[in-house]
Copies of this chain bind each other. A is one copy, B any other.
Amino acid sequence: MPAEASTSRPASPPLTERQEARRRRILHASAQLASRGGFDAVQMREVAESSQVALGTLYRYFPSKVHLLVATMQDQLEHMHGTLRKKPPAGDTAAGRVAETLMRAFRALQREPHLADAMVRALTFADRSVSPEVDQVSRQTTAIILDAMGQPDPTPEQLSAVRVIEHTWHSALITWLSGRASIAQVKIDIETVCRLIDLTEPGRPAR
């Protein structure tokens, strides 16, 4: 029973069971260390030791610390998408549902602020060499938002709005994590940007 997740890796070379296990151990150690002290606490030597893997092996699985943390984020996002699916938001408007969904995710992050720090910092610090992985995270986030909107077939305008929402989401998280914005502030920003969705409700002249 090899649990193959639906939205996962390209799975270039299929991993053996032991390799899959190593990969899981590494991701687990990464998340654990991150939960403690955030980005800085995820030290490659420690991750290697915690996951019972040689440093060189760690680097074979994840070519850099940022790759590792972005993969950790993919992992967590899948989790969250699953959780969110179970109890879909109940608002009347698409904007309200999206805002509610993002606030739910935000509350989850608040429970593990250090982990959030590690993941989000890695995500925005990632350079070109991590683009595919970051893109995957972005697609997953988009999927979550579209789910909340309940629009299986969004217009280009709506996709633009979703992109802007994602931008705001990431950047607002950053300001919260670095102590420059309060939780309340983040909430306001999310609600504000979600209004863009109403603005692009189909049946409106585009411009």
A residues neighboring B (CB under 8 Å): 39, 121, 124-128, 130-131, 134-135, 138, 157, 160-161, 163-164, 166-168, 170-172, 174-175, 178-180, 185, 188-189, 192-193, 195-196, 199
A171 x B160 contact (CB < 8 A): no
Total copies of this chain within the assembly: 2
CB distance from A92 to the nearest CB of B (A): 14
Question: Which residues of chain B come closer than 8 Å to A160, judged between CB atoms?
Answer: 188-189, 192
Contact A180 B125, CB 8 Å, known A163-B189, A168-B167: no
Contact A124 B164, CB 8 Å, known A134-B180, A135-B180, A195-B196: no
A167 x B163 contact (CB < 8 A): no
B138 x A180 contact (CB < 8 A): yes
**Which 10 interchain pairs have the tightest Cβ spacing?**
A167-B171, A167-B168, A124-B124, A160-B192, A171-B171, A164-B193, A125-B125, A128-B179, A164-B192, A170-B171
Question: Which residues of chain B come closer than 8 Å to A131, judged between CB atoms?
Answer: 178-180
B189 x A195 contact (CB < 8 A): no
CB distance from A196 to the nearest CB of B (A): 6
A189 x B167 contact (CB < 8 A): yes
